[in-house]
């Protein structure tokens, strides 16, 4: 028997819960379908030592802000799960866990959707896809060239150093996940090799304020359509950590501690890894990205007349001494004792179950602030969906409010 519900929300993480809260505030009928447990990806697809990159005062969803006593600290993975559980207990969403959505298609001749699940079929006027930005792991083709004896894990499946065989570890990718995992492994006593990509250099704090204070003050987190703070040629957004109260994830600190930095992984053959000779170029762009952002912050300080202590400047010569070494272009797996590779290489979209023509050639959603060209079908919680904060806990709520209004207006029509 087919069930009829005004709105189906697919996904029971922060985006799905925020959407449910906003619809409840407007008195709109809906249900939240979650394939696993509430906040399943936080539970089963994040490593043990993970913390949020944003300070606790930014941990907020509609109607429910941070309620701890350490606003400038950083919550752990388990604390995020507890926060989402508390949020659900706060407003009691119509959440159905253990229900996997198998397909969504438009009902022929009608502006309604048929949502087929492993627990039955639902017809809905609206569907909100809130499955998050981290869906299917992106694994480079070089993985097929590695010997079978080398354990390979994507960052999604990494938990802690004890799950890896003894020996050295290669981490491929130097975004936030790659550098945090690299640090986690190094602190456990592992020998670590890091294949460096292009990412922005951000300090955890500048002039005694967290970097997110400056990003907010500059208005960068609220700029509609902004895909990069300083330019796409500098790569991914800045890499930070909240572990141990929060600190920079600095290549120099890692290199000085014994981590071997490498260029991009190009391939593998006969038990040897081959790396590009682009390490120094990536490091130069890394430095330049911070120079640009710092100049933006300093201009903001001058414009607003903020009275702040000067930033202590470390010795450039000391911080660059390790860079004089010739880049390593080949690594012998046996000689270096590398027994595992962690692919911190990001994710790709996985909407194979969505049988509605709202995806581009690469499988990504075509949308404007979550609204698609198919009336009643929406997306929520994507990275940079509307502004740079759309994929964050502190930003998803604004997009949820907007979509709830869209849904209420459509229902009234």
The pLDDT tens digits for 122-167 are 999 999 999 999 899 999 999 999 999 999 999 999 999 999 999 9
Helix (H) or strand (E) holding 268: strand 265-269
* Structural domains of the chain, with CATH: 3-135+349-412 (3.50.50.60), 162-343 (no CATH)
Given a cut of 60, is residue 255 above it in pLDDT? yes
pLDDT band at 318 (very low <50, low <70, confident <90, very high): very low
The CA angle 199-201-207, to the nearest 5 degrees, is 160
Average pLDDT over residues 47-75: 96
What is the predicted pLDDT for the residue at 315? 46
314 pLDDT above the threshold of 90: no
Q: How sure is the predictor about 319, in pLDDT bands with cuts at 50, 70 and 90?
A: low
C-beta separation of 60 from 110 below 8 A: no
Dihedral (CA of 385, 410, 28, 109) sign: negative
Q: What is the mean pLDDT of the chain?
A: 94
* pTM (predicted TM-score): 0.95
pLDDT value at residue 247: 94
Asked if 385 and 350 touch (Cβ cutoff 8 Å), the reply is no
Inter-CA distances, 3 with 7, 36, 124, 174, 207, Å: 12, 21, 9, 46, 57
* The dihedral formed by the CA atoms of 242, 245, 251 and 255, expressed in degrees to the nearest 10: -130
* pLDDT value for 135: 92
Sorting pLDDT into bands at 50, 70 and 90, what band is 387? very high
Give mean pLDDT, residues 343-352.
Answer: 96
E strands present in 306-346: 330-332, 338-343
How many angstroms separate the Cα of 57 from the Cα of each of 65, 74, 221, 395?
A: 8, 9, 15, 13
Question: What's the pLDDT at 320?
Answer: 67
Percent of the chain with pLDDT over 70: 98
């Amino acid at each position: 028997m087919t069930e009829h519900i005004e709105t189906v929300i697919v996904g029971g993480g922060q985006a799905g819960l925020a959407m449910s809260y906003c619809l409840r505030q407007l008195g709109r009928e809906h249900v939240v379908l979650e394939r696993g447990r509430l906040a399943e990806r936080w539970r089963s697809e994040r490593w043990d030592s993970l913390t949020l990159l944003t300070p606790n005062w930014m941990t907020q969803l509609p109607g429910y802000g941070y309620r701890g006593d350490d606003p400038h600290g950083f919550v752990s993975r388990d604390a995020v799960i507890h926060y989402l559980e508390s949020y659900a207990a706060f407003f009691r969403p119509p959440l159905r866990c253990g229900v996997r959505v198998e397909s969504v298609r438009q009902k022929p001749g009608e502006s309604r959707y048929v949502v087929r699940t492993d627990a039955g079929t639902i017809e809905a006027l609206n569907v909100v896809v809130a499955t998050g930005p981290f869906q299917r792991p992106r694994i480079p083709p070089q993985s097929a060239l590695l010997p079978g004896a080398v354990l390979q894990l994507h960052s999604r499946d990494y938990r802690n150093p004890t799950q890896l065989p003894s020996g050295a570890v290669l981490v491929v990718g130097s975004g936030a996940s790659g550098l945090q995992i690299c640090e986690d492994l190094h602190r456990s006593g592992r020998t670590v090799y890091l294949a460096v990509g292009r990412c922005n250099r951000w300090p955890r704090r500048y002039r005694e304020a967290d970097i997110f204070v400056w990003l907010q003050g500059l208005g960068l987190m609220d700029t509609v359509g902004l895909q990069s703070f300083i330019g796409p040629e500098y790569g991914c957004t800045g890499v930070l950590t909240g572990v141990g109260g929060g600190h920079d994830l600095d290549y120099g600190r890692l290199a000085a501690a014994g981590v071997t930095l490498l260029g991009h992984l190009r391939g593998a053959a006969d038990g040897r890894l081959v790396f590009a000779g682009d390490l120094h170029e990536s490091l130069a762009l890394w430095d330049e990205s911070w120079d640009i952002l710092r100049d933006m912050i300093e201009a903001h300080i001058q414009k607003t007349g903020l009275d702040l202590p000067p930033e202590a400047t470390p010795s450039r010569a000391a911080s660059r001494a390790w860079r004089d070494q010739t880049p390593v272009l080949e690594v012998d797996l046996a000689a270096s004792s590398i027994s595992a590779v962690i692919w911190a290489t990001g994710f790709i979209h996985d909407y194979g179950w969505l049988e509605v023509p709202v995806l581009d050639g690469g499988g990504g959603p075509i949308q404007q602030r979550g609204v698609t060209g198919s009336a009643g079908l929406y997306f929520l919680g994507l990275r940079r969906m509307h502004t740079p904060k759309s994929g964050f806990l502190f930003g998803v709520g604004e997009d949820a409010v907007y979509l709830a209004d869209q849904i209420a207006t459509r229902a009234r029509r």
